[in-house]
Amino acid sequence: MNHWFAWHMVPNSDGARGFHFERVEGRLPDIGEDEALVEVAGCGICGTDLSYFYGEVPTTAPPPLALGHEASGRVLRGGGLEGRRVVVPTVIPCRTCELCRSGRANRCLRQKMLGGNYSAQGAFASHVVVPWRELALIPDDCAIPLERMAVIADAVSTPYQAVRRAAVGPGDKVVVIGATGGLGVYLVQWAKLMGAELVVGVARDAAKLESLRPYGLDAAAAVSDRAAEAARHEMWRTCNERRLNPRSCWKLFEASGSLAGQRLGIELLTFASKLTLVGYAAGEITLSLSKVMAYDAEIVGSWGCDPRHYGEVIRHVTDSKIQIIPFTETRSMARIAESFEEVRARKADLRRIVLTSDWIDREVQEVA
């Protein structure tokens, strides 16, 4: 196969605001000495992709371009990795700047993002070209379907970076706001795996929250308009049952990517507690910094994940300590437009949609 195929995000030409998807094709590109050509097996739909496509956030590279930054696949050539199954990094650090040298490569100021400012050719495509040194190898004996491993690049690894940032450990009390979302389901699992004694999930759907109990959730707070009151009640009730102190030392994670979730996190902040912001929300909120000072509390952000941590994440997924199968759904990349609409309308359940390249065979026959 000498062709690549992709679904490009293209501005509407009929005067309507926004974008649509068009299938494009071309010859497979040449690669540089430090690059690898990866045949895409699957690419997850992330909230960032939706923000780009629906015009909520401007893209770094001008359209038309292929979105998609949460990918897995097989190396066709480059770096001596031919035939190896890999997870493709979402963000690619420079490895030379001050932040990279100090262990903060996840927030490298010169980092590149697949389908953004690294290349206009993202992973909603048959192939991608990426630096081979940043690829994360999947063990040959891993039984999980390759396409499902795509979610490690962002949905699974971003929460891993967040629990590291918050230093979650044995005995901790954790709250995950947006526990039923694409990041939240893995934050729950990582917090419990890191040793948290109590993990409280906060979300709107009670049934979805309850379904997370087999994956590390200890208590569920289904919230609506009186979110802080309902969440705090569940936090205190569960602490009293377990003879834990509910007044201090909580580690809170905001994973919903909403202003309401961020406000809730601030409202729940208490003595010697830490709020880690994982989801992105456009807009502003009002915050009393004196409250943070008086509580001796912390508010920190957590961005992406250093690709060098992917190996540890893959190991825990392969060992079934972190479950991804119950939280992923695969479908053909040919259904990209309807899938974007479905995710935007929040019709999906707890499962992240991973678009697969099973449409390629048909396209190859057309080219031939």
pLDDT at 364 over 70: no
Arithmetic mean of pLDDT over the chain: 92
pLDDT single digits (tens) 165-202: 999 999 999 999 999 999 999 999 999 999 999 999 99
Residues 6+ apart with CB under 8 A from 271: 247, 248, 249, 295, 296, 297
Tokens coding 122: 């993202």
Identify the architecture of domain 3-154+305-367 in CATH.
Alpha-Beta Complex (3.90)
Residue 348, pLDDT score: 55
Residue 157, pLDDT score: 98
Residue 205, pLDDT score: 92
pLDDT at 368 over 80: no
Please, how many CA atoms are within 13 Å of residue 296, restricted to the half-sphere of its CB? 5
For residue 322, the tally of other CB atoms under 10 A from its CB is 23
With contact defined as beta carbons under 8 Å apart, do 153 and 55 qualify?
no
Average pLDDT, integer, range 325-341: 95
Residues 6+ apart with CB under 8 A from 44: 70, 71, 150, 151, 153, 154, 155, 328, 352, 353, 354, 355
Domain boundaries defined on the chain? 3-154+305-367, 157-301
Neighbouring-strand partners of residue 271: 248
pLDDT tier, 347 (very low <50, low <70, confident <90, very high otherwise): low
pLDDT at 363 over 50: no
Task: Pick the closest to residue 307 from 38, 35, 87 (CA basis).
Answer: 87
Identify the architecture of domain 157-301 in CATH.
3-Layer(aba) Sandwich (3.40)
